[in-house]
Structure 1
């Protein structure tokens, strides 16, 4: 049983914005031959162009090692049309593509970087971009420090002396593989760039539904008063994927579910759920409150963790292979494709409230969701009325993907001459209320980076704080050989993850 909520005063499908347009600039994408540029970055930039949020004086330069000068433009146009939901007849598409350039160089080639510097200066003249640069490192992590070092060596890491221009760098995850490597990478990057130039990107923070957690909490007067240990029993955060590793065997063998998802995506979401109200929505204020959350988490004992690896199973009615049978995966791999952790935040708001977080591949369905389970009332007046003696708790579900929205589950009287209680949902759907969107989440993050707004980007302190929590778990797991696989593809993970909750009298909620 459900009720749909439509926002008052909103015209469905209408686009409204009060964001300012960035200054003229060149976006330089290293690793532009990769899938990310075609499927996400160029479509996102064109969506900004469609919305009138790009400067008129603007250019994009793709940089990669292969000579793709003849095919790069058409290939990116195809990506914008196919991945961005754009009509080829869109009148803004052709003028936008005229601003898309390509430059080939190896990432360890000093001569190539010197030529790139001259090429960007030529584009400054052509497109009147005033020396402003946004470098995007869409490359493998081993290239991060080398590329930034060469930008510094060849005078591209900082604006010209005496100018009013700016230089910023977006760095893709993974940002380190443990605490030591993250600190080393931070030191290498900060040796060239100041912290306010660095934008460590997590695409989850580009999702409207993640940003809406803050609006939901701090923009409405009815939720924040009950957002604490007095009213909330526990919190669950699930990031489940039904797909496998999609041919990324070598990468995933080094990563695993904890490094790939829990340490970054899920901890970012957790911080939005748990943080105190910031003084403002400025970057420093938000980052400070997030950092307080992570630092308030006590060390997580390995007994409060669970890991798994999928075996063969059925997903969507189709038989699929186990992880160890995937292409370029060690047939005796100890890499986890599922990870779950029980943790507590030791502060006045959350003391005694467990947070259960999990992420995995080849699970029953694709869903990312935050579940807030409220405490039961002190006295069940209607116990036994249509519920067989079991009174269900009130649940607030914030669906981040794929069916974006918010649902509040509560008990209501079933019509009739007797007092029977049934659970009903009050449901808000993004698509029903605001219409379908072709945005992929990178639009907001690219725009913010061009504007110099780091609110939705990671600071080095936050990166190191989350690695400090998870590195001991990784080290403990490395010493314990597991009998993998221990869950079937198409299930909800290993029994051990259920045991984390069951030994505390709880269970994972239905998604």
Structure 2
């Protein structure tokens, strides 16, 4: 495999099976991507039972851009369960064929990529149902429709419901399911009922608690799958494997050896079609509250006793609850807000919404005492990239000149990969050091065998595996930290800074980290 630019190190040899990677006599375990039906996020599973997946909001952007492309691709690779049925619910007056044509025309992800044979095969698994939340009576026939699909085959399929709508409709959907008998068993054996809800998980702690109370009125916690699609990315899942399957790293994973951690989620696009939602949310609520804090929790958590869903999530919650809250005084100099030039014209009004935020967080636990976590995200920046970098402390004494600290980088997107920066000798007379990377690239190791995040999460949803999904107390702990910022920042302690489209963001973000004698690793 090729190394990063200016890196003289080469020669990963990859062994299938146990996923061992030999690099200069260094063997590191990595997570192998899920390839086929029956493989969950962390190992072999039983075959998925017969399933009916019902998507509410099936004509929206989420369904067109992510869910249907994922399901079409899964069907083409025989990854869907036996006797699988997809019921797509929307307000438009369509049938299965016209609905699929609508999706194929709307979705850039699959335009021109589906053959007539694949389309015909998928149509055999697809039903379109017209329903309007403003007219609850329009859903009275949905229960009979599902029963009529089961009875001829004497099936009692699991019923999974995907809430691919904004949270304002979650209560309506839950009531529709309850009042129309869509949550009942079939009498022959236990039928699994599950729901999947998408972010945004509302607006603040108070509304998050209200949403959790609402959902728990109709469903048990083990029936609720709250999705953060970043958790489906291979390198995010690989965080736990690298940490807990390699003795090399975990003994160093603490305040004695780690200088700081950086998590950067940078996007080059403007807000675009999400302008209405984004102006209400902003960068902090849109990305920090979910994606970034989830990655922080995986980086900082202790090793769980085993890989059951609740034990993993217990450790994540412990980290999120330990985040040091902000007050009006501590915000000064530790948080930078920014907005790209032209944002107000783009949304058609003056706005104080941040399109960029950088902040310094601390985890108030003995393992991480005094270690800063630098978090950064923004729109309209020069590059689309997501990276987590763990910066180890410099040697207290180095025999050579110019010893640099070691850096372990997880690149989430693009080009999912892991890089370990080390010091090496440049060939020749004398000893001159060179900093180079030991690289592992998922794309090179597995070629085209890396499923998109939504495919992985949909399979886990069908399998009943909650390990990559978010529990109610995780959401509330994350919102409590975010609320400590939004309740206290203002134009005095965190003024809104301007930055140009295509830049690295406000210069004040660089100044914030430079005053700690550090710099952003992800440029």
Question: TM-score, normalising length from structure 2?
Answer: 0.88
User: Would the aligned equivalents of 1:47 and 1:439 in 2 still touch at CA under 8 Å?
Assistant: no
Give the match for residue 352 of structure 1.
370
Shift of 1:123: 2.0
* Structure 1 runs (4+) greater than 6 angstroms displaced: 10-14
Residues 233 and 38 from structure 1, CA distance in 2 versus in 1: closer, same or farther, beyond 3 angstroms?
A: same
**Is the counterpart of residue 258 in structure 1 residue 284 in structure 2?**
yes
- Please say if 1:375 is aligned against 2:401: no
- Distance between the aligned counterparts of 2:412 and 2:256, measured in 1? 26
Shift of 1:53: 3.1
Aligned pair count reads 492
1:135 paired residue number:
161
Aligned equivalents of 1:466, 1:13: Cα separation in 2: 28
Match runs of 1:211-290 below 5 Å: 211-290=237-316
Q: CA deviation at 1:481?
A: 9.4
1:412 to 418, 424, 444: 424
Q: CA deviation at 1:455?
A: 0.8
* Structure 2 counterpart of 1:396: 408
Residues 367-389 of structure 1: per-residue CA shift (max 9 Å, x gap): 00001111000113222xxx5xx
Q: Please report how far the alpha carbon of residue 92 of structure 1 lies from its aligned counterpart in structure 2 after TM superposition.
A: 5.3
Unaligned runs of 5+ in 1: 312-321
Which position in structure 2 is the counterpart of 1:38? 64
Deviations 1:195-247 (A, max 9, x none): 11111111101111111111111122211111111111000000000001122
Counterpart for residue 74 of structure 1: 101
Pick aligned residue for 2:518 from 494, 506, 511 = 506
Alignment match, 1:7: 14
CA distance in 2, matches of 1:455, 1:127: 32
Q: Do the aligned residues in 2 keep the contact of 1:298 with 1:345 (CA within 8 Å)?
A: yes
Give the 3-state SS of the residue equivalent to 1:486 in structure 2: strand
Q: Does 1:171 align with 2:197?
A: yes
C-alpha distance in 2, partners of 1:282/1:419? 49
Distance change (3 Å), C-alpha of 1:270 and 1:126: farther
Q: Secondary structure, in 3 states, of the residue corresponding to 2:169? A: helix
Give the C-alpha shift of residue 35 in structure 1. 2.1
Verify the 8 A CA contact 1:84 1:438 in the aligned structure 2. Answer: no
Displacement of 1:51: 4.0
| Residues 156-214 of structure 1: CA deviation (Å, up to 9, x unaligned) | 23434674101110000001100011011111111111111111111101111111111
Deviation at 1:45, TM superposition (A): 2.0
1:256-315 residue CA offsets vs partner (Å, 9 max, x unmatched): 10110000001111111111111111111111010011111121332222111011xxxx
Quote the residue 2:3 is aligned against.
none
Alignment of 1:317-332 (within 5 A): 322-326=342-346, 328-330=347-349, 332=350
Offset of 1:87 from its aligned partner?
Answer: 4.9
Post-superposition offset of 1:96: 2.5
Match of 1:302 among 316, 328, 331: 331
Which ranges of structure 2 fall in alignment gaps of 5 or more residues?
A: 1-5, 20-31
**What TM-score do you get using the length of structure 1 for normalisation?**
0.90
Distance 1:184 1:14 in 2: 35
Q: What's the CA shift string for 1:25-67, capped at 9, x where partnerless?
A: 1110011001221221122223333443322211101111111
**Residue 8 (structure 1) shift:** 2.0
Aligned-CA RMSD value = 2.4
